[in-house]
Amino acid sequence: MIFSQVYVYLTQFLTLLLTEMFKFFSFTRHKVSEEIEVPCSTDQDVKMEEPIRPELNFISNMPLNIIDNILRRLTLRQVVRTSILSREWRYKWLTCPELKFNIWYDRTFLRSHKLEKIIYQILRLHQGPLLKFVIQVPDLKSNPNIDQWVHMLPDTLQHLALHVSIGDKHKLTSRVCNLRNLRKLRLYNIAFDHPPGFMGFPKLVYLDLHNSGLVPENFGTFIALCPLVEKLTMIHCTAFDCLEIIGPKLKFFEFHGIFKTVSFKNCPVLTDLRLTFSYPAFKAENGFSFDLVKSLSCLPALDELQLQAYALEDLVEYGAPDKLPIALKTLKYLHLTDMYFEKTAETSCAICFIRSCTNLQRLKITAFTFEVVDSVADFLRAQTPTRSLTQLKAVKMQLFCGIESEMEFVRYILASATVLEKMAITPHPGTIDDGGESIVNELKQYPRASPKVEIISSDQKHDTFMV
């Protein structure tokens, strides 16, 4: 442990040292570094303008693993500029194990050159194992160069990120499926499907898909062939009739989009689930909400859940606001987003769902309320405090406007949670002027089932009460 810490500190120190040396050489050598371009060949050994300085010998003789670590921490422009440090360093940048053309790349590095040509040249000249390749630059459209780059990537690659930032989705070459050492795969605005005979990504741990065109009928097979995936993110991808998730190692799953049904198969360690549905295309109907709850109840390790409140709206057909016949016994943290306190049906279903989480310890509600509806407040006042919130210790109300229905909801929670320790109110910045002080003072007058509950107003930007 001590050795690893020393190694990290040494690498950081040397990285900073090299950065300062870049500045020094840029000044003393008449800004030679500004004129450096990607070399077309490594066959010629160009003579240095100055003899090697004695104080640079220790840099020339660094162990290769430290050199690799330093190069990983530098920007692409800095990596190329290491060629001015000494004769021994002239071509070390060609062995950099990570090539990152990301949003932070220095535009002055390109000068009059086209990015596509630069990337091609660097890949063509690269030597040694390449572990990480990232393309995330502004104004990148779908073009044949992207597939050409993928074909040039070695099988040693462990991390691939492709981001088509504007225009139509890029249909990715199936060559990517041959990179079987991948551990991280991130695709943005990419159309992707595995070819027949695909053997899977046996080492893939992290899969991030944004605005990706997928084949819904094949996705279940694809994810099943990635048995080590621990974190899966799907944001605004293709709509699914049935989304099938198979993940024996899956721990985190975030989904933004549309599905009619979801099936979790062999997900024994999935603990963190976040579901957001595209509105207004999404509608909770035809038993969607209850089918969703049944699917969630099949996850034996589910600990944290983020869910839009309106996804529960058709639970009224299954006994809301009473407890459901199915309980989510493992759930300890629930975040209900887009909570419309102006709709009685949605409020009723939210209460029903909360009552069915019998071991809930933390609750966060993000309100989304515009109008005062008296019937919702009347409904909440008529509710008898539940006995099922015996584990709830912390509640946070975000974007709280202080309208009557919101206040009555908090009154219900305070009257039901027998071991509640903290109730935090984050006021809506556009409707509350005093930082929520008047709301908190009124809430402190409400009856409480827990004698030790603290009611506070919290700052959403700096509050660490509930992440």
User: Higher model confidence: residue 111 or residue 370?
Assistant: 370
Which band of pLDDT confidence, cut at 50, 70 and 90, is reported for residue 310?
A: confident
Give pLDDT, residue 79.
61
Label residue 26 by pLDDT band (50, 70, 90): very low
Q: Domain for residue 63, yes or no? A: yes
* 154: in domain: no
Contact 285, 316 (CB under 8 A): no
Residue 99's pLDDT is what? 86
pLDDT, tens digit (0-9, with 9 covering 90-100), for 431-455: 777 767 888 999 999 999 999 999 9
| pTM across the whole model | 0.81
Phi-psi region of 31 (alpha: psi -120 to 50; beta: other; left: phi over 0): left
Q: Dihedral of CA 10/16/21/22: which sign? A: positive
Q: Tell me whether residue 242 is in a domain.
A: no
Mean pLDDT, range 162-173, rounded to an integer: 94
* Alpha carbons 360 and 323: distance in angstroms, whole number: 14
Q: By the 8 A CB rule, do 112 and 77 touch?
A: no
Q: Are 350 and 376 in contact (CB under 8 A)?
A: no
Percent of the chain clearing pLDDT 70 (strictly above)? 73
* Mean pLDDT of the region 124-151: 90
For 77-100, write each residue's pLDDT tens digit. Answer: 666 666 556 566 655 667 778 888
Given this model, what pLDDT does residue 37 score? 46
Q: What is the Rg, in whole angstroms, of the alpha carbon atoms belonging to the chain?
A: 28
Identify which has the larger pLDDT, 31 or 160. Answer: 160
Residue with tokens 């159309």: 191
- In this predicted structure, the answer to whether residue 3 has a pLDDT above a threshold of 50 is no
For the chain, the domain total comes to 2
- Range 142-165 average pLDDT: 95
Q: What is the mean pLDDT of residues 248-255?
A: 98
106 token code pair: 């220095």
**Cα–Cα dist 297/402, whole Å:** 34
pLDDT value of position 44 = 43
Crossing angle for the helix pair 115-125 and 144-152, nearest 10 degrees? 10
In a domain, 283, yes or no: no
Neighbours of 259 (CB within 10 A): 21
Query: Would you say residue 50 has pLDDT above 90?
Result: no
Distance CA(46)–CA(44), nearest Å, equals 6
Whether the per-residue pLDDT at 231 is higher than 50: the answer is yes
Q: Is 70 exceeded by the pLDDT of residue 187?
A: yes
Closest to 269 (Cα-Cα) out of 230, 234, 217: 230
Q: In whole angstroms, what is the distance from residue 272 CA to residue 267 CA?
A: 11
> Where among 47, 67, 87 does a domain terminate?
87
pLDDT > 50? residue 364: yes
pLDDT at residue 322 greater than cutoff 60: yes
Amino acid at 132: K
**Which residue range(s) make up the domain with 353?**
305-467
The whole-number pLDDT of residue 126 equals 84
Mean of per-residue pLDDT scores for the chain: 81
Statement: residue 264 has pLDDT above 70: yes
Question: Looking at the predicted structure, is the pLDDT value of residue 20 above 60?
Answer: no
**Residue 177 in this model has a pLDDT that exceeds 90:** yes
pLDDT tens per residue across span 371-414: 777 889 999 999 989 888 999 999 999 998 888 999 999 999 99
Report if residue 114 sits inside a domain: no
Residue 46 has pLDDT above 60, yes or no: no
Mean local confidence (pLDDT), 421-429: 91
Q: Is residue 103 part of a domain?
A: no
Asked if residue 329 belongs to a domain, the reply is yes
Instruction: Give the CATH number for residue 345.
Output: 3.80.10
Buried b (16+ CB within 10 A) or exposed e, 273-306: bbbbbeeeebebeeebbbebbeebbebeebbebb
9 within a domain of the structure (yes/no) = yes
- Write out the E strands in 63-222: 98-101, 132-135, 159-163, 170-171, 184-188, 190-191, 206-210
pLDDT of residue 96: 78
